Chains A and B, each alone.
Chain A
Amino acid sequence: MAIESAEKAGPKKYQRTRQGISTRQRVMEGAIEWALFLAGASSIAITVGVLSVLIYESAGFFAHVSIWEFLTGTQWFPQFDPPKFGILPLICGTLVTTAVALSVAIPVGTIIAIYLSEYAPHRLRNFLKPVLELLSAVPTVVYGFFALSFVTPFLQMFIPGLPGFNMLGPGLVMGVMIIPYVSSLSEDAMHAVPMTMREGSYGMGATKMQTAWRVVFPSALSGITAAYILGISRALGETMIVALAAGLEPTLTMDPRQPAATITAYIVQVSGGDLPHGSIGYQSIFAAGLVLLLMTLVFNVWGYRLRKRYREIY
């Protein structure tokens, strides 16, 4: 009723109810809020989709292969008869390449972060930080080609007998790719440390380096750890570099000079061929993917919590 009188009272454009807003508008507001909510909630649907596909197909796989055999077997020969599905060689390959990558990315990334945060002039920092981030923007297939055609031949000059496919070359390239993840996030964390803490340290006669390592670094530690963890999870999930340059032989070895397959490389290798839907080989890539997802998920949740915490400190 209020609406009717309002319609008579003035031009439609300015109609307002006593509450100050027309019903049509209120309905629209509500509809839009719902639409936006659905967009936000779609992320949950996506997660459910990812998990359910992985779990559904893996369940089919584990009906044939026992979980115990899968997790403790040391041989991964899906094409044999009977096939052998022991994922340890793949996990081992993943961990070794990740370790090689981190042994580059963590020291280099941390030192670069300290340099950018504590030493670099303001303008140089504003230039270097985004330019360094370009390192992680390079398509990974290009990195893989680089590892295969440049880094491995280069390493072969120093390490005689290094095979053309090995875990060292792609691991190093992966490390370079991860440097920006480590350096940028660590730098953010160090930058957030209040100036007063540094000034206190300088006031006691400490040099910049002493301040950086003994005051800034410990204060930003949770943020820095989050950066490391993000780097780890990137390295675990990296696919193309290892698929191209690390070889595709699942071997259980800790020696980075040897060729080996990672979980991701196995998935790429198998899905590159045309697998019949529902076969055990088809299901095995989902089981491998589930293991990979769980591995990265642990690190992601841990890193997310650390990031939250350091954001709340200051």
Chain B
Amino acid sequence: MIADNLSNSEKPDSSPAVPSVTYSAGISPEIIAGLHRRKRWDRAFSTCGFLLAMGALSVLAMLFGQLVYEGGGRLFRGHFVNTDGFSPKINEIAGILQHNGDDLASGWELVQRPLTIANATERLTAEELTSLIGKKVFVDGDVPSTGLSEMESNSIAASDEESPKKYSKVSLHGTLSQSNGSWIVTPSPIAILPVEGQGLDKSWVGNQVAVGFGLVKSLPLKTKSIEKLSFQNFFASKPSSKAEEAGILTALVGSVLVVIVTMCLAIPLGIAAGVWLEEYAKKNWLTALIEINIANLAGVPSIVWGLMALGIFVYFLDLGRSILTAGLTLGLLVLPIVIMATREAIRTIPSHIREASYACGATKWQTVRHHVIPYSMGGILTGTIIGLSRAIGETAPLITIGALTFVTSLPAFSWSNPFAWLNSGFTVMPIQIFGWVSRPQEDFRENAAAASIVLLALTLALNTTAIYFRNQLRKKIKW
């Protein structure tokens, strides 16, 4: 039958055969041509398969590349905050504190960072600017929200001319220079007079500070307040309405807490159910029902879990839109994964292990506890890690139960009520990303990309660990 099929239904191919190999006499040239043709198809198909596999993987690479391109820089860029965690106010000027001389009452200077002027040429011609290179200039402009290093200039004028008429958000007095085609203003140091009792000493020198000025218009400026600033990166920042100050701290903490609850539910329940199905369950309709039921639960769309949680956990049990609700929801979602991993792992244990245990007088539970579960632990762990990575990346059910995209405070922890954090509102990494992507401002896209890198790296790391475990197990265990 098969032979018939093979010889009769050749694919027609118009390209001529390449009779490079000589066959023994008696084989007709048509057969040889057909052989070549078939081999060519075969090679082409093999290449096609390999290329498609590589193509699929290249999507992963493109995904990562796109994320790094859009948000890679954001991971390492932070902003300066004062001791309370707030960035300098609008009427404060941030810069590095310097001190010349020995007298602590004078000689203090504030050195600001150089600013790049964006699209200056729209308002001023290059010739006009070139003539100002190296001269002291006044710049008036707006600092766009993507960072302090760029500034959109509204006006720029040599300082010996009359003072600029238009006052906008930032005005600078500094030296103009040009490098690599972009215009840079290095601000002149601002001399400041410290106010008595501010406790300025030499240890502050070289630090980033924010200075609020008193209402003294003539130089030297008198400080009203001065605060030491510290650098805060993307990971340590809380959400903010300003893209450059927003970070993923609360989302990361929320993800960790939710996943802890998830695993506390899914691991014991999943292992118990898996053990029961493999070791205890008799072959009857109930077992069959539970089996098909679990297989179906694994295929339930994640958003349906969210609806279930909204109906039961949030409203019926009145657990609120809390970490507990989120953890339980995801716990039920990954439960089938843990059950299936447990069953697969237990199935690989040969029955003679159990029989040996029974022969020594062990009871069923003793056999399960001392042999079946320990030997299948590797497989269970692999499945659990996969479930964990699924739980970390899951978004839809948490949106349904009402995760917040703007959580500025971490869940409180106190020893008197160590489980109070379970009831607090939460946000998690995927929700934070979703919140940022859905914002209309373009600036938040960069944050979303940066947070996506973190989330993607987390899940891929977890999955790679699981693959590694699985391979190790396969190598190690030979019954």
A interface residue numbers (CB < 8 A to B): 20-21, 25, 28-29, 32-33, 35-37, 39-44, 46-47, 49-50, 53-54, 56-57, 108, 111-112, 114-116, 119-120, 126, 128, 130-135, 137-146, 148-150, 176, 179, 200-201, 204-210, 212, 214-215, 230, 233, 236-240, 243-244, 264, 267-268, 271-272, 274, 277, 285-286, 289, 292-293, 296-297, 299-301, 303-304
Contact = CB atoms under 8 A, between A and B. Distances in A.
Nearest to B445: A149
Nearest to A237: B301
A30 B289 CA distance: 22
A207 B364 contact: no
B393 A141 contact: yes
Contacts of A286: 307, 311
A32 B365 contact: yes
User: Which 6 pairs show the lowest CB-CB distances between chains A and B?
Assistant: A237-B301, A115-B49, A139-B393, A39-B272, A53-B311, A36-B276
Nearest to B434: A141
A214 B455 contact: no
Give the dominant DSSP class at B's interface. helix
A43 B290 contact: yes
B269 A119 contact: no
Given A134-B460, A142-B456, A36 B273 contact: yes
B308 A142 contact: no
B399 A268 contact: yes
Nearest to A201: B2
Contact of B56 (A179, A200, A243, A285): A179
Contacts of B48: 111, 115
A215 B5 CA distance: 10
A236 B301 contact: yes
A35 B272 contact: yes
A149 B56 contact: no
Contact of B59 (A28, A145, A176, A303): A176
B272 A204 contact: no
Given A53-B316, A303-B299, 16 more contacts: A53-B308, A54-B307, A108-B56, A114-B45, A115-B52, A116-B49, A130-B467, A134-B463, A137-B459, A138-B459, A139-B430, A204-B6, A206-B2, A237-B303, A267-B306, A267-B396
Nearest to A274: B402
B297 interface: yes
Given A296-B300, A296-B301, A43 B66 contact: no
Contact of B41 (A25, A207, A292, A299): A207
Contacts of A42: 269, 273
Interface string B427-454: 0001001100110000001001100100
Contact of B293 (A43, A57, A204): A43
A148 B290 contact: no
B102 to A, nearest CB: 56
A209 B9 CA distance: 13
B3 A277 contact: no
B143 interface: no
18 contacts: A43-B335, A44-B290, A46-B335, A53-B312, A130-B467, A132-B53, A141-B434, A141-B452, A142-B455, A148-B437, A149-B66, A149-B70, A204-B2, A209-B41, A209-B46, A233-B299, A267-B400, A297-B299
A128 B150 CA distance: 45
Interface string B306-329: 111011100110000000000000
A139 B59 contact: no
Chain A CB within 10 Å — which of B277, B303, B433, B452 has the most?
Answer: B303
A306 to B, nearest CB: 12
B127 to A, nearest CB: 37
B312 A49 contact: yes
